[in-house]
């Protein structure tokens, strides 16, 4: 059962990377692309807490960085930091609606991008801060909010609804 | 009391993770000739799948636009419509094949113009993030591609290769903030440094190397061949605006590349930089 779950997580990361790197840029050239790998790790953190969230963030972030071969660890570090923060507040979260994951993923996106920009800037990448905070981050935040809410519904709310309806029928 | 060792352990794990990641970033922040085995395997597996996925998506999106257009022809009878569908589909495929053929022909003609050896490559996928302008192509060391090779199309400079595996190579695009190319103004013969802005505008920053310079909108900037990476004579872009420098002594300018970086598909990797030098006829 656990192995099956791990397989689903690996497949999820692979699908997120494929969509992010090869599908969405072809469908929407010149558009900002949502960070699906981050959304996935954030939602896992919301659902399952720090440990699984940080593990998905590490694996997904490293794969994301390894695909282009530069600043390896920057995405992983930023994703892990935010997944850890989300995991820290996870016991206090009300998970039965879509607003919570949207807000958490949105806030997490801003922190994640700020950490990532700071790290790659520290290691020599040039970043236009006005565009980053004025255009790119707001757009990624909006897109990630929607993606986070959808993922939460798909990974947490729908299985619970199905469980509930299954138990009602059996009663 | 029991929680203290747990907290301590978490702090230790966090610090170790941070140190390992910082070391990793430090060692991978610069251009690398060789990638680790894990990176090579990941890219070799991912690249063809990504290439296939983007091809399918292109096909689907052309189909979707086609389907949207047939909404107007509802009145036609079923037989004619299905026949028309089949013919249009065939036509679409043929069009696509003709377009691809034309593109490749242009590249091959262009390749013939070059003296040195050049490798035709296709873009597999783009950088998954939103901050770095780089793409991964489907040719690597098995095809004679190494790190630091210039990448061009018939329209001009695309970028340079950085990390290379057997069948893939990363290309840092000319518009990336890590890119700097030595250039020359075709009209005034001023030497300039052309840097990627990396701000998503798709423009290049043109900085003259001398204090006295004469840059004007409309001027064409080509590679100077002095930087050691790019051969002389490839178009970098057309100057669109000129601004006075900080103290009004010199000017700096912005140029628009002729290459459409958002729709890159086929590119040429110049495996022989010196032989690949073009005349300024471009």
Q: What is the mean pLDDT of residues B135-154?
A: 89
Reading the block at residue A108, the tokens are 């997490």
Q: Which of B110, B145, B173 is the last residue of a domain?
A: B173
Would you state the pLDDT for residue A38? 93
Give the residue carrying structure tokens 């299954």. Answer: A166
Provide the sign of the torsion angle of the four alpha carbons B119, B122, B123, B124, taken in this order: negative
Contact A93, A104 (CB under 8 A): yes
What is the residue whose two structure tokens read 């001398």? B210
How far apart are the CA of B65 and the nearest CA of chain A, in angstroms? 12
Q: Contact, B168 vs B140, CB < 8 A?
A: yes
Q: What angle do CA B196, B156, A135 make, to 5 degrees?
A: 35
Number of residues in chain A: 171
- Model pTM greater than 0.80? no
Task: Give the residue from A30, A61, A119 showing the smallest Cα distance to B126.
Answer: A30
Question: What is the domain extent for residue A138?
Answer: 2-21+35-156
Q: Is residue B115 part of a domain?
A: yes
Total domains, chain A: 1
Q: Are residues B233 and B110 in the same domain?
A: no
Q: How far apart are CA A90 and CA A45, in angstroms?
A: 7
Residue of B51, B136, B199 lying closest to A67 (CB–CB)? B136
Q: Where does chain A show beta strands of DSSP type E?
A: none
Nearest Cα of chain A lies from the Cα of B118 at a distance, in angstroms, of: 23
Mutate to test the interface with B, among A73, A116, A134 (most CBs of B within 10 A): A73
Q: What was the pLDDT predicted at B280?
A: 42
Q: Is B129 on the interface with A (CB under 8 A)?
A: yes
d(CA A117, CA A135): 14
Instruction: State whether ipTM is beyond 0.85.
Output: no
* pLDDT > 70 in chain B, percent: 87
CB contact under 8 A, B177 and A75: no
- Same domain, yes or no: B74 and B137: yes
Distance CA(B259)–CA(B150), nearest Å, equals 14
**CATH code, B239:** 2.40.10.350
Residue ranges, chain A, pLDDT below 50: 170-171
Task: Tell me which residue range forms the domain holding B245.
Answer: 180-270
Is B200 inside any structural domain? yes
Question: Is B50 within 8 Å of A27 when comparing Cβ atoms?
Answer: no
Residue A150 lies in a domain: yes
Residue pLDDT, tens place only, B153-203: 888 899 999 888 888 999 999 998 888 899 988 888 888 999 988 777 788
- Give the pLDDT of residue A43: 94
The rounded distance, in Å, linking the Cα atoms of A66 and B168 is 13
Of B25, B30, B132, the CB nearest to A119: B25
Look over chain A and give the mean of its residue pLDDT values, rounded to a whole number.
Answer: 87
Name the closest residue on chain B to residue A30, using Cα atoms: B262
């Amino acid at each position: 059962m656990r192995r099956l779950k791990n397989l689903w997580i690996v497949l999820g990361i692979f699908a997120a990377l494929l969509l992010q790197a090869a599908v969405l840029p072809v469908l929407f050239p010149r558009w900002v692309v949502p960070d699906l790998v981050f959304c996935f790790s954030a939602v896992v953190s919301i659902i399952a807490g720090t440990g699984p969230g940080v593990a998905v963030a590490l694996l997904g972030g490293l794969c994301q960085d390894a695909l282009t071969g530069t600043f390896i660890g920057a995405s992983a570090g930023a994703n892990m930091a935010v997944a850890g923060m989300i995991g820290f507040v996870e016991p206090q979260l009300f998970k039965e609606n879509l607003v919570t994951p949207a807000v958490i993923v949105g806030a997490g996106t801003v922190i994640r991008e700020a950490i990532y920009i700071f790290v790659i800037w520290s290691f020599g990448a040039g970043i236009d801060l006005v565009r980053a905070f004025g255009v790119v981050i707001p757009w990624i935040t909006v897109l990630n909010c929607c993606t986070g809410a959808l993922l939460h519904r798909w990974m947490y709310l729908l299985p619970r609804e199905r469980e509930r309806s299954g138990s009602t029928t059996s009663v | 009391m029991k929680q203290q060792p747990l907290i301590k352990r978490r702090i230790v794990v966090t610090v170790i993770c941070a140190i390992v990641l910082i070391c990793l970033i430090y060692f991978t922040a610069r251009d690398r000739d060789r990638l680790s085995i894990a990176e090579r395997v990941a890219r070799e597996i991912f690249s063809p799948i990504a290439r296939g996925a983007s091809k399918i998506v292109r096909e689907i999106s052309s189909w979707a636009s086609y389907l949207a257009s047939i909404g107007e022809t509802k009145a036609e009878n079923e037989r004619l419509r299905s026949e028309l569908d089949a013919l249009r589909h065939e036509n679409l495929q043929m069009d696509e094949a003709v377009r691809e053929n034309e593109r490749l022909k242009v590249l091959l003609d262009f390749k013939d113009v070059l003296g040195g050896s050049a490798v035709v490559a296709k873009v597999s996928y783009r950088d998954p993030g939103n901050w770095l302008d780089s793409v991964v192509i489907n040719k690597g060391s098995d095809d004679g591609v190494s790190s630091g090779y210039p990448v061009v199309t018939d329209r001009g400079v695309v970028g340079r290769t950085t990390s290379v595996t057997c069948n893939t190579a990363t290309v840092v695009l000319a518009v990336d903030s890590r890119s700097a190319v030595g250039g020359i103004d075709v009209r005034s013969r001023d030497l300039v440094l052309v840097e990627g802005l990396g701000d998503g505008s798709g423009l290049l920053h043109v900085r003259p190397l001398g204090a006295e310079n004469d840059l004007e909108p409309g001027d064409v900037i080509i590679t100077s061949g002095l930087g050691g990476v790019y051969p002389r004579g490839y178009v970098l872009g057309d100057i669109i605006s000129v601004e006075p420098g900080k103290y009004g002594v010199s000017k700096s300018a912005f140029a628009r590349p002729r290459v459409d970086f958002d729709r890159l598909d086929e590119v040429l990797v110049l495996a022989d930089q010196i032989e690949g030098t073009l005349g300024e006829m471009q």
